[in-house]
Structure 1
Amino acid sequence: MDSTNLLLVFNGFIFFFFTINLLPSLTNSSNVPIGIHPLDEKYFASEVINCKDGSNSFTRDRVNDEFCDCVDGTDEPGTNACPTAKFYCRNVGSSPRFLFSSRVNDQICDCCDGSDEYDGGINCPNTCIMGGHTEIKPVNYGSRVNKFGSRGTKQKRVGFNGDDTFQKLQGLKVLIVIQVIIIAFLVFLCQFRWRANSRRRNSR
């Protein structure tokens, strides 16, 4: 196989890898419920999901619907309906963290990326790249926690997570840089072999 065909095969492999692995994650990022840890995205991808404590199961459309289907709050990471649920702040540019979901949409910016205040009641600036410092005010959480099992009005879900997409685009840039380096190495290798073959022919 000559160098041109080798490069074509290699580029086809890289394109196939990108199509299979990266495009689905970019297009489906809007389907990930808010407040979910990235390692739990597959856990929440099925239609029927088990509570992590084994107390119950629920359908995917009941995630973040402000009704506690699970005692441990597995189904409500992005609302303040369950007192034991945990909200995951991605905090791109700073340190990710968990906070109790009772602090979601409480008019206080607890995540440095402002993702915990997504209902539009307050505008939280993204301070992650400035060290992630936010002013945390004392809150009486007891007055904010909904009674377990009481259904409220569905909150507006955020469909687009800009920070998550930014992270994935950064990964894409790294992949492109790696591809360019490998192609440059293959070109150098092909030229080196061509020169070596030319010298052999000339020396005969």
Structure 2
Amino acid sequence: MDSLCFHSVLLLLVSTASCLSFSHPSFLGVHPLDAQYYSSEFIKCKDGSKSFSRDRLNDDFCDCSDGTDEPGTSACSAGKFYCRNLGSKPQFIVSSHVNDRFCDCCDGSDEYDGTIRCPNTCVMGGNAENMYGNYNSKVRDQSVFSEKETENGAKAEESAHSLSGLKLAIILQVVVVAFLVFLWSFRCYTRYRRRRSR
């Protein structure tokens, strides 16, 4: 039983570290199993065609024909964006759906440029595509945001608000995981103390 507690705590700590590592913007759209692949200073395109430096990861310029260097942007037509969708089902979407003014990921991570605001519906188990797709198309049809508003800074404000919302979501996820680690550790400790006192 102690071994089970230890392994559970270890798993929760790794999850916390994973949340923290993905708070870095260049890891946007990267599958957790690929995090190690993208961690070196020079990264090779998965098709083996060439290498690129880490600062060119998600720089919105396609260096690799297979999209290896742009997992978080729509720069490469062959790219795939990974939606973490914590609280729901993770998924890949084609890179052309990134920042296309349509919420494809239930966590809203595919629309990070601030053009639209995608609420995180993952915790509810829903999918933003189904719930908010009609609303987004109505907004486009009615031209609620005129070009003049966008030019006058509305886009910049929305982008800043979206980014702060994403940071808040990551911080909340880390806090929840840390709290769960604490509770599980405390539970394991009290079980251990009870057994020792017998």
How far did residue 36 of structure 1 move? 0.7
- Counting matched residue pairs gives 159
Task: Name the one with the larger helix percent.
Answer: 2
Partner of 1:172: 178
- Counterpart selection for 2:112 from 110, 118, 121: 118
| 1:52-103 Cα shifts (integer Å, max 9, x gaps) | 1111110000011121111100001111110000001111121111001111
Helix, strand or coil at the partner of 1:30? coil
Residue matched to 2:127: 132
Q: What are the Cα deviations for residues 138-190 of structure 1, in whole angstroms up to 9, with x where unaligned?
A: xxxxxxxxxxxxxxxxxx9x696554554444433332223212221232233
Superposed counterparts of 1:64-103, under 5 Å: 64-103=58-97
Residue type of the partner of 1:40? D
- The structure having more radius of gyration, on CA atoms, is 1
Contact 2:23-2:170 at 8 Å conserved across structures: no
Q: Contact 1:58/1:69 (CA < 8 Å) preserved in 2? A: yes
* Alignment correspondent of 2:46: 52
- Normalising by structure 2, report the TM-score: 0.67
- Distance across 1 between alignment mates of 2:171 and 2:35: 14
Q: Secondary structure at the match of 2:93?
A: strand
Structure 2 residue aligned with 1:30? 23
Amino acid in structure 2 at the alignment position of 1:191: S
Output the amino acid matched with 1:71.
Answer: S
In structure 2, the gaps of 5 or more residues are 1-5, 135-159
Gaps of 5+ in 1: 1-12, 138-155, 193-204
Return the TM-score normalized by structure 1. 0.66
CA-CA distance at 1:112 after TM superposition: 1.1
Query: Percent identity between the aligned chains?
Result: 47
